[in-house]
Structure 1
């Protein structure tokens, strides 16, 4: 037999009721089992005698180790971060110490939006070197400044397609307001069984930015009856259209992508600056 142990960010430690280091030491001392380290920061114990299965599980459970995949939050199970600060000299911001809290915030946001069963691959690194492979994650965070991250979107769930940079600098404090419109659009416009990464790749970044620019924060929060909250009529937006040459449109589109903004936002900023 074999047994896989999910280890958050690959950190083998004793902390409070979570005593993974002690549990592994007892298992190796008692059963002399070989083990393998996986590319996802996990451990596989193998060549387990079936008669030892119950005793092995008991040791893990007594030390606060979850032995069934169903007992692990999927967002945590499919997340990974590099060590970053304070041990890596290349890091420009936190990663391993920041990701658990950010994953928890993402989970709470998904729950508020009626996406309780949704999960996807999340990776985070403290610098662009990408040691935790954020560039093949459905949602990748890459440190770009203290407490700020590039956001990468659009990779496939099985990590066979690369993600692309969506914004260059998202402050950690703005996580909920940044992702709420993206998750709402995902909820409203996804195809049946479509993953978050596949959705972002299919719909494209221009559509994501356009939706976010015109989204009213809080309007997608689901009420206890499972329906989105009613929009406030007092905040209705008046939209106007103008025509621009095709060449200008292409340049505007490229500039918006480079700056991580919608074309609407960039055009409004340019016109406001010109008319002052």
Structure 2
């Protein structure tokens, strides 16, 4: 059909003409964590909810903490597209009490690395019947190990967008992550590299099938090189392209060009 034909059909259904497209830029792909203040003087706190799961665990009573905040909070709660939560519309006089509760229940984001803050996973097992591998329950464990590699190379506070899904449907939007893992079978994943940090570029297949030992064996020297070779403000996804690990996806039809694993495009095509 093409864009012009599609646009004209939409306008027929709407009953009016669409205005010209307004300028836009991709300037973020993760949430702005922490406190911010709106024009009305109200305060808003974006808190990290790992993979969107609010529950109580040993040493992490997040559900209990949010329940206590809800008892005294006079504003609203808002969900983000990255599975996190905003405690919004906090007045000046209520700020100390909300901050105290956030700190006492470890909801103040202070203990998380930039890698973890930038991560996301779908629910996968045991919730989703389409899942072929773990995602929500496994990604935090993998992050623990990759986090150590980042810390050893001075990258604890450097954001790398890492996402994981249990199947190719991609509910955690893995295809625009800088590093992504898509489940193929229990413990086995497709590995993708080269997505744009700001969500402006698709990644593509780097390895057709990897398990945890292979993931760590690949990422360890890669992160070491990134720490040493990156340019000022160069993001990990951009660097993997410049370093020759993967080629850039300049448009959708170029997604199969320059994939990392031999025959990977055939496997995806057949699977699709």
1:69-116 deviations in whole A, cap 9, x for unaligned?
A: 554211110101111011111111100111111111111123344545
For 1:63-142, list aligned pairs within 5 A.
Answer: 63-65=105-107, 67=108, 69-113=109-153, 115-142=155-182
Residue 155, structure 1, aligned to residue 195, structure 2: yes
Secondary structure of 1:169 counterpart:
strand
SS in 1 for 2:183: strand
Residue in structure 2 matched with residue 42 of structure 1 by the alignment: 84
Please, what is the CA RMSD of the aligned residues? 2.3
Per the alignment, residue 18 of structure 2 pairs with: none
Match of 1:22 in 2: 64
Query: Normalised by the size of structure 1, how large is the TM-score?
Result: 0.70
Alignment partner, residue 217 of structure 2: 177
Q: Is the 8 A contact 2:197 2:235 kept in 1?
A: yes
Q: Say whether the 8 Å CA contact 1:37–1:43 is kept in structure 2.
A: yes
The residue aligned with 2:45 is: 3
- Equivalent residues of 1:167, 1:259 under 8 A apart: no
Q: 1:258 to 1:6 in 2, by over 3 A?
A: same
Tell me if the contact between 2:193 and 2:237 (Cα under 8 Å) persists in the aligned partners.
yes
**Counterpart contact for 1:2–1:46, Cα < 8 Å:** yes
1:13 aligns to 2:13 (yes or no): no
1:146 positional shift: 1.4
Look up the match of 2:4.
Answer: none
| Aligned counterpart for 1:165 among listed residues 199, 202, 205 | 205
1:31 aligns with 2:73: yes
Aligned to 1:56: 98
After superposition, give the CA deviation of every residue in 1:22-52 in whole Å (9 maximum; x if it has no partner). Answer: 2222222223431110011111121211101
Higher helix share: 1
Query: Which of the pair has the greater relative contact order for Cα pairs under 8 Å at 6+ separation?
Result: 2
Judge conservation of contact 1:134–1:140 (CA < 8 Å) in 2: yes
Q: Which has the larger radius of gyration?
A: 1
Whole-angstrom distance in 2 between the partners of 1:49 and 1:99:
36
Specify every segment of 5 or more residues in structure 2 that has no aligned partner in the other structure, as ranges: 1-42, 248-256, 265-272
TM-score normalised by L of structure 2: 0.71
In structure 2, C-alpha distance between the alignment counterparts of 1:118 and 1:7, rounded to whole Å: 19
Structure 1's unaligned 5+ residue stretches are 208-252, 261-276
Q: Equivalents in 2 of 1:20, 1:199: separation in Å?
A: 36
3-state DSSP class of the match of 1:201?
A: helix
